[in-house]
């Protein structure tokens, strides 16, 4: 057991602060600046969606998951609860779980409670403060499980296999929330193949994937009436202003989230309401009125379409579950 988590366990029942994450390998300020400069320098300006998730961004995402119009979280959570017994029997005894994009660690509790003596849990997330809090809380609630948080960009070239290498148990990836939908086809295959390397041949992956459906349901989910998704989107500019000394005038950028049927994806954009020049960390970027920054893609899949993608990445299907309205799917896959 690592020191941080053993320290948390020792402190259970006291008022003392919990420990820091064991591994802090996330992007630093210079990485953030370079990626922002690169994205804003493109003809179609872009910003990577992974930078939505600072402390406030993670809280705003949690608020989104509670909205009536945002069906994915409650649908996936219900699916996991309904099928927890079957999932746990595939997972077997004493497994090590590795979660990619762990967030608030709500869904993993359903699995940890259903599983037979899980040995270790490695949550990976880019949102440092949020991961620390969530992992500390989980470690207190599940003192018999080793909780080994890793702050990192899971799509970076880090050797994630080595990070969980001190466990000899069967490895199972958990990738809920349809976060895979943030990646275009080739990047999604590469990311799933990386997960395949982490779990190894015969290792498994439980993944949540949002499905193609009536456009209105999709548009409502990403354009909620309370404006929380708009705040989440604009928080990227708030973060750039704060951390990189940017001077985005927030009131001049509005949230826009259309469904691109040709690409099968919801897109999130921030639209400039004026001709203006914005400075970020000493570099100027010129915007014309109506020009957008493309901040996120969220690809939607058919079941066969997703299983074909998973197969390209080296995973065979074991079982798929969907809700009765075919809104969302979860897939149990095995690495070849």
Ligand X SMILES: C[S@@+](CC[C@H](N)C(=O)[O-])C[C@H]1O[C@@H](n2cnc3c(N)ncnc32)[C@H](O)[C@@H]1O
Residues that bind ligand X (CB under 6 A): 50, 53, 58, 61, 73, 101-103, 107, 124-127, 153-155, 176-177, 179
Identity of the residue, 136 or 153, whose beta carbon is nearer to ligand X in the bound complex? 153
Q: How far is the CB of 318 from ligand X (least distance, A)?
A: 20
Identity of the residue, 55 or 220, whose beta carbon is nearer to ligand X in the bound complex? 55
Contact 131, 123 (CB under 8 A): yes
Q: Which residues pair with 328 in a beta bridge?
A: 210
Q: How far is the CB of 43 from ligand X (least distance, A)?
A: 24
Q: Which residues pair with 211 in a beta bridge?
A: 301
* Bridge pairing between strands 328-335 and 204-210: antiparallel
Identity of the residue, 9 or 138, whose beta carbon is nearer to ligand X in the bound complex? 138
Using only C-alpha atoms, the chain has a radius of gyration, in whole angstroms, of: 20
Identity of the residue, 7 or 219, whose beta carbon is nearer to ligand X in the bound complex? 219
Q: How far is the CB of 48 from ligand X (least distance, A)?
A: 8
The strand ranges marked E within the chain are 23-24, 45-46, 96-100, 120-125, 146-147, 150-151, 171-175, 204-210, 253-256, 259-260, 265-272, 276-280, 283-287, 292-299, 315-322, 328-335
d(CA 99, CA 82): 20
d(CA 332, CA 83): 11
Contacts of 122 (CB under 8 A, 6+ apart): 96, 97, 98, 99, 148, 149, 150, 163, 164
Measuring CA to CA, which residue among 89, 79, 139 is closest to residue 114?
A: 89
Identity of the residue, 40 or 102, whose beta carbon is nearer to ligand X in the bound complex? 102
Q: How far is the CB of 148 from ligand X (least distance, A)?
A: 15
Q: How far is the CB of 61 from ligand X (least distance, A)?
A: 6
Identity of the residue, 12 or 187, whose beta carbon is nearer to ligand X in the bound complex? 187
Q: How far is the CB of 121 from ligand X (least distance, A)?
A: 13
Q: How far is the CB of 255 from ligand X (least distance, A)?
A: 17
Identity of the residue, 76 or 287, whose beta carbon is nearer to ligand X in the bound complex? 76
């Amino acid at each position: 057991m690592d020191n941080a988590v053993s320290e948390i366990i020792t402190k259970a029942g006291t008022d003392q602060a919990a420990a820091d994450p064991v591994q802090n390998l996330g992007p630093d300020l210079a990485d953030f600046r370079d990626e922002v400069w690169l994205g804003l320098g493109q003809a179609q300006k872009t910003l990577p969606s992974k930078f939505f998730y600072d402390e406030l961004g993670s809280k705003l995402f949690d608020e989104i998951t509670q909205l009536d119009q945002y069906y994915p979280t409650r649908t996936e959570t219900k699916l996991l609860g309904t099928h927890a017994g079957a999932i746990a029997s595939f997972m077997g005894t004493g497994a090590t779980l590795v979660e990619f994009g762990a967030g608030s660690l709500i869904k993993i509790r359903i699995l940890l409670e259903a599983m037979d003596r899980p040995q270790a849990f490695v949550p990976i997330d880019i949102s440092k403060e949020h991961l620390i809090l969530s992992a500390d809380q989980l470690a207190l609630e599940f003192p018999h499980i080793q909780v080994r948080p890793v702050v990192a960009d899971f799509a970076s070239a880090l050797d994630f296999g080595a990070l969980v290498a001190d466990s000899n148990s069967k490895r199972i990836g958990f990738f809920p929330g349809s976060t895979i939908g943030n990646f275009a086809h080739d990047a999604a295959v590469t990311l799933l193949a990386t997960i395949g390397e982490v779990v190894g041949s015969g290792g498994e992956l439980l993944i949540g994937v949002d499905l193609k459906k009536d456009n209105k349901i999709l548009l409502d989910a990403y354009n909620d009436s309370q404006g929380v998704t708009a705040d989440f989107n604009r928080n990227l500019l708030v973060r750039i202003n704060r951390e990189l000394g940017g001077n985005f005038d927030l009131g001049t950028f509005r949230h826009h989230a259309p469904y691109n049927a040709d690409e099968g994806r919801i897109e999130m954009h921030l639209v400039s309401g004026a001709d203006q020049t914005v400075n970020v960390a000493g570099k100027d970027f010129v915007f014309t009125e109506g020009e957008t920054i493309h901040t996120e893609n969220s690809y939607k899949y058919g079941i066969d379409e997703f299983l074909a993608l998973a197969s390209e990445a080296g995973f065979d299907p074991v079982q798929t579950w969907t809700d009765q309205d075919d809104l969302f799917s979860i897939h149990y896959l095995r690495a070849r």
